[in-house]
């Protein structure tokens, strides 16, 4: 049997972080001093044995609470972090041994996107485009059309990034990732913090990209409706582990419907993780 070639393959990947344990308040003085001099470490299993495959033309969703490991997994795929064990391949290339090649064909959007804050969004976008060998005029045209599509008033493109709201900066980050035609697009919470209209604009745009381009798209979110709307397959991540994976339909079938109601993705999430994403600061 022929083995299918996936755009993205993640095999049993693990990333642990060491964190200094905060000493308990009631420790005895000598023990406290010892703790300051040689702090006790605890191990955070941010990504703990994760495997996944995503094909061209597919949007793969990763749904998880705060701190469940979504961004760590995205950083591992995008070569920003090195895995402790396991392997990741992008169109057949290993992200560790072939990182330069992988970087050229992928782009990542995240809430902590970095910009030259004192430059305008137009300048930032042109700078990014130049790195990819796109001319200023072409970049400007393309950036304007994407930003317009995302509901960003293009007349504000000349304002310093610093003076833009976080949601507006997020839209510039999305535009920057899509100036080129990445074969792998990593969207780490692309709509978190956006107002409802902007959220819908960005979601419609992501759907458009899926339809127009032959790309592999991985998207993380806290938003059940977003996962239902956009993702061909969804994985639920909890404490660094995938605890379920499938199409939305398959996930919904995992939890029996209560009387006179239909199961929602939220019901599935709560049943499997015991957590409610709508609460807290999610
Ligand atoms: N550089 C780091 N050093 C130490 N611990 C880290 C580091 N990066 C992440 N962690 C820890 O790893 C765990 C997973 O974090 P991660 O950022 O991947 O979660 P997340 O699912 O993206 O959360 P959120 O929804 O809040 O963005 C958390 O416990 C976090 O504190
Ligand atoms: Mg995150």
User: 251 pLDDT exceeds 60?
Assistant: yes
- Whether residue 280 is contained in a domain is answered as no
How confident is the model at residue 282, as a pLDDT? 39
What is the tens place of the pLDDT at every residue in 145-198? Answer: 999 999 999 899 999 999 999 889 999 999 998 888 889 999 999 999 899 999
Residue nearest atom 8 of ligand 1, based on CA coordinates: 72
User: 10 pLDDT exceeds 90?
Assistant: yes
- Whether residue 3 is contained in a domain is answered as no
Mean pLDDT of 92-119: 91
- Whether residue 282 is contained in a domain is answered as no
The domain in which residue 89 lies consists of 8-273
User: 127 pLDDT exceeds 70?
Assistant: yes
What is the tens place of the pLDDT at every residue in 53-86? Answer: 999 999 999 999 999 999 999 999 999 999 999 9
- Whether residue 221 is contained in a domain is answered as yes
Cα torsion for 10, 12, 13, 14, to the nearest 10°? 170
What separation in Å is there between the alpha carbon of 44 and the centre of ligand 2? 15
User: 281 pLDDT exceeds 50?
Assistant: no
The domain that holds 153 is classified in CATH as 3.40.50.300
How confident is the model at residue 33, as a pLDDT? 83
Instruction: Spell out which residues line ligand 1, taking CB within 6 angstroms.
Output: 17, 19, 44, 46, 64, 66-72
Q: How many domains are contained in the chain?
A: 1
What separation in Å is there between the alpha carbon of 30 and the centre of ligand 2? 38
Query: Which residues have CB under 8 Å from 152's CB, separation 6+?
Result: 168, 171, 172, 175
What separation in Å is there between the alpha carbon of 70 and the centre of ligand 2? 5
- Whether residue 281 is contained in a domain is answered as no
What separation in Å is there between the alpha carbon of 72 and the centre of ligand 2? 7
- Whether residue 86 is contained in a domain is answered as yes
What is the tens place of the pLDDT at every residue in 23-60? Answer: 677 778 888 888 788 877 889 999 999 999 999 999 99
- Whether residue 279 is contained in a domain is answered as no
Would you put residue 274 in left (φ > 0), alpha (ψ -120 to 50) or beta? left
- Whether residue 172 is contained in a domain is answered as yes
What is the tens place of the pLDDT at every residue in 11-23? Answer: 999 999 998 777 6
Confidence of residue 133 (pLDDT cuts 50, 70, 90): confident
What is the tens place of the pLDDT at every residue in 184-243? Answer: 999 999 999 899 999 999 999 999 888 888 899 999 999 999 999 999 999 999 999 999
Q: Which atom of ligand 1 is nearest to the CA of 71?
A: 22
DSSP conformational letter for 36: H
How confident is the model at residue 2, as a pLDDT? 56
Rounded Cα distance between 118 and 123, Å, is 10
Mean pLDDT of 135-147: 91
Strand boundaries in 27-72, DSSP class E:
41-54, 59-64
How confident is the model at residue 279, as a pLDDT? 52
Confidence of residue 5 (pLDDT cuts 50, 70, 90): low
Cα end-to-end distance, the chain, whole Å:
44
Q: Give the pairing of strands 106-109 and 184-188.
A: parallel
How confident is the model at residue 268, as a pLDDT? 93
């Amino acid at each position: 049997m022929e083995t299918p070639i996936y755009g993205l393959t993640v095999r049993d990947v693990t990333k642990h972080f060491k964190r200094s344990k905060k000493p308990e308040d009631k420790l005895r003085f000598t023990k406290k001093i010892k703790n300051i001099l040689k702090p006790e470490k605890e191990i955070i299993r941010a990504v703990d044995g994760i495997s996944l495959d995503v094909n061209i033309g597919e949007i793969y969703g990763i749904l998880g609470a705060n701190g469940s490991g979504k961004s760590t997994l995205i950083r591992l795929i995008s070569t920003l972090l090195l895995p402790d064990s396991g392997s990741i391949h992008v169109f057949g290339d290993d992200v560790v041994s072939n990182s330069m090649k992988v970087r050229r064909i992928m782009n990542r959007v995240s809430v902590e996107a970095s910009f030259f804050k004192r430059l305008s969004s137009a300048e930032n976008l042109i700078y990014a485009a130049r790195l990819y060998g796109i001319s200023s005029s072409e970049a400007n045209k393309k950036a304007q059309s994407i930003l317009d599509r995302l509901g960003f008033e293009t007349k504000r493109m000349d304002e310093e990034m610093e003076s833009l709201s976080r949601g507006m900066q997020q839209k510039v980050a999305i535009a920057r990732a899509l100036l080129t035609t990445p074969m792998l697009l990593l969207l780490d919470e692309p709509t978190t913090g956006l107002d409802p209209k902007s959220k819908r604009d960005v979601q419609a745009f992501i759907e458009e990209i899926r339809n127009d381009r032959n790309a592999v798209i991985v998207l993380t979110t806290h938003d059940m409706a977003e996962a239902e709307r956009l993702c061909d397959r969804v994985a639920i991540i909890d404490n660094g582990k995938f605890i379920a994976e499938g199409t939305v339909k398959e996930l919904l079938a995992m939890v029996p419907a209560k009387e006179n109601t239909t199961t929602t993705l939220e019901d599935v999430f709560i049943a499997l993780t015991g957590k409610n994403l709508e609460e807290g600061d999610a």
